[in-house]
Homo-oligomer: A and B are copies of this chain.
């Protein structure tokens, strides 16, 4: 210990909590070497006597030295940091994406700033500003809906930007989205494969792009299976269980031709439909098979029976976003709108238990 006490009155040293984190200078002093040597020793580069290296490493560990990333970043002109801006409160859809993205980037030692802009352009600008100030290496924009949005502010100086579950009219950037249409095809194919002939589609509001795409997939799927769309079997509405129940009334009350299968725009609608069918004494899946969308487990598993559902593979989407962002940070140029496949999770609403 260094005993050259200044003449100040009882300087309260050796306090349990140090004033600030130890620096490389502290390590150098304690190890009796120069700063440059410490740097070499800790970064495993350059040639150094093993003894010196070991000693430095030991001292560093002892005093709990941890390099200051801020200083490193300043030097490297890379912050090893990215920002995520969501115009939604990281909800049901956004979260798995963000989680997987964070996981992937953490593997590379890149940390993630989380910014919630709640659909407020002013807040978004402010967050963006802050992120630019922090010199993030990249930006991910995500949203509650996969619909088009205005590009995020003037992405200064060629900052890599990725839109996930979100898209922008920005030819410089990349949009990563689930293939809603393909997912719908999967659903209808499955229903056809289990022998259903009359498939109705109960879904959400048509001003959602996802609704329009899933409808297209529904139509395409029917055609591919040699089935045809039936008049009155396409019912857009809202995203709720109540609408699912109501739609069953519309499909079954005083109709001569009733469906033997439902493809629902989300799991809430599907659950409502399943409840309504049960309450009418119809069996799911025997009388009517149901496929939902989202594979939102809290809904799909709690429904009676548990729902077969289309999974958008949001975690995979998030992970890929991480991957592509790393590419872009590495200097690769990627852009365009990419749609990634959905998959189907089969449960008892289409296939009765053995």
- Choose one: B106, B123, B131, B268; the contact of A115 (CB below 8 Å): B106
Task: Tell whether, in the assembled complex, residue B95 and residue A99 are in contact, meaning their CB atoms are under 8 Å apart.
Answer: no
Complex contacts, A114 vs chain B, CB 8 Å? 84, 98, 102, 112-114
Stretch with Cβ within 8 A of B (4 or more), from A17-25, A33-41, A51-59, A280-288: A17-25
- The CA-CA distance from A116 to B103 in the complex, in Å, is 8
Contacts of A66 in B (CB 8 A): 129, 132-133, 156
Q: Does A205 contact B (CB under 8 A)?
A: no
Task: Give per-residue flags for A128-147: 1 if the beta carbon is below 8 A from chain B beta carbons, else 0.
Answer: 01111111000000000000
Q: How many copies does the complex hold?
A: 2
* Pick from B67, B111, B126: contact of A113, CB under 8 Å: B111
Judged by a CB distance under 8 angstroms, whether A179 is at the interface is: no
Nearest Cβ in chain B — how far from A113, in angstroms? 5
The answer to whether the Cβ of A228 comes within 8 Å of any Cβ in the partner chain is: no
Hey, what's the 0/1 contact readout for A67-97 against B, CB within 8 Å counting as 1? 1111101100101010010000111000100
From residue A92, how far is it (CB to closest CB) to chain B in Å? 8
Residue in B106, B133, B302 whose beta carbon sits within 8 Å of that of A268 in the complex: B302
Contact between A302 and B158, CB atoms less than 8 A apart: no
Contact partner of A95 (CB less than 8 A), chosen from B64, B90, B126, is B90
Q: Is A46 an interface residue (CB 8 A)?
A: no
Which residues of B are found within 8 Å of A77, using beta-carbon distances? 20
